[in-house]
Amino acid sequence: MDVTADPLSLLRTRTSMKWRSYPDDVLPLFVAELDFPLAEPIGEALIAAVRRSDTGYVAPVNELGEAFAAFARRRWGWRVDPGQVASTTDVSVAIVESIRRAITPGDQVVINTPVYPPFFDLVPEAGGRVVEVPLIHGQTGWAIDLDGLEAAFRAGARAFLLCNPHNPLGHPQSVEDLTAVAELAARYDVSVISDEVHAPLTHSDGTFTPFLSVSPAAAEHGICVTAASKAWNIAGLKCALMVTGSERMRALVAGMPQEVNWRTGQFGLIASIAAYRDGEPWLDGVVAALEANRVLLAELVDAQLPGAGYDQPRASYLAWLDLRSLGWGDDPSVIALERARVALHPGPMFGAPGRGFARLNFGCSPEVLAEAISRLAHALAHPRETAVVRAKSAS
């Protein structure tokens, strides 16, 4: 089915973070919220819940595990035991509670920079200490630095917070890298918490491989944390999953305080079940729109921002822009906002490798995307101007 983004006039009536953080003259392309209308099956499920006043606590036994297991098998050929699916508030809470159970306070936890900024806060919240092993970029694209990872494990790291597909790069980790990670985790008895929230948004030319599916070692040492929040734009409804593939990791999740599960939002649960059961046609339409946008973005950057770098992602709706050649400093998002009135996510927040970079959300209309790059190009060509405010077709 065709899915198109809402017009700016309607989007600006939304009250979420994306549309209330900046004045109306700013194009907000920073936070990971989509501009598409809510999938109809989700809207219908929520309206039905309101009409029956179904606004209480989540039931301890529900249909989320079965819905996700069926989706995972259809989408990725991954066989999930519904009995090994637990829920909580959101992916960040799932990460914190999983790490907290997997380590002793003060233990080292590895992350791969540049990476989703909250990772730097979630690890210490769980009692761990961050160890950075940056991803490597070669002729074949991005990859995990397996030698660096092993060195960190050998030095005593007790957990690895994996991002698959990787945010902000839109890179689905290769089956070879994931298999090697599982082997290292087994060798050094390290727990792997794999954030797979962007997996449903893998593009037609990308391949997502669930970490737990690559080998018995992965299932023995891993926990998948995921949600319908990013793919179906329902983050505010609060529901995330913790999926395991072994009795060892099932016991780890089951040992979490009961309140971890009770924090699941009732509307989030209802919406997630609807998404996994009936939301695939909408999802396919969104992915097709995102693939068209990522190509358009490459054309716009090449034509209007000479010297800027951009590798088209194979998953999600986030572009990692290399703006070092523009001379806009370590954090080019500052100039983008001040001179172009375009809000981007600051690259340095993703770790030291993010200096000179910015993350752009292209989960919007082609018109908004074109206007954003036009504004950035104008700011580059007219460096003495403090702001560029235009409406044009994006309005």
In a domain, 374, yes or no: yes
pLDDT for residue 386 = 61
Residue for token pair 């990308």: 206
141 Rama sector, left if φ>0, alpha if ψ -120 to 50, beta otherwise: left
In a domain, 382, yes or no: yes
Same domain for 160 and 129: yes
* Separation between Cα atoms, residue 173 and residue 152, nearest integer Å: 19
* Structural domain count, the chain: 2
The reply to whether the predicted model has a pTM over 0.75 is yes
Same domain for 324 and 199: no
Of 300, 306, 302, the closest CA to residue 326 belongs to 306
Same domain for 254 and 317: no
In a domain, 357, yes or no: yes
Q: What is the residue range of 107's domain? A: 41-278
State yes or no: pLDDT of 205 exceeds 60: yes
Same domain for 56 and 34: no
Q: Identify the domain boundary among 278, 297, 332.
A: 278
Q: Identify the domain boundary among 249, 278, 307.
A: 278
pLDDT for residue 334 = 98
CA pseudo-torsion sign 182, 188, 191, 194 = negative
* Separation between Cα atoms, residue 217 and residue 261, nearest integer Å: 26
Specify the CATH number for the domain of residue 305.
Answer: 3.90.1150.10
pLDDT tens track for 138-153: 877 899 999 999 999 9
Q: Identify the domain boundary among 263, 278, 293.
A: 278
In a domain, 336, yes or no: yes
In a domain, 2, yes or no: no
**Average pLDDT of the residues in 115-135:** 98
Same domain for 49 and 85: yes
pLDDT tens track for 27-73: 999 999 999 999 999 999 999 999 999 999 999 999 999 999 999 99
Whole-number mean pLDDT of the chain?
Answer: 96
Split at pLDDT 50, 70, 90, the class of 395 is: very low
Phi, psi (5° rounding) for residue 238? Answer: 65, 85
The encoded tokens of residue 218 equal 């992965």
In a domain, 1, yes or no: no
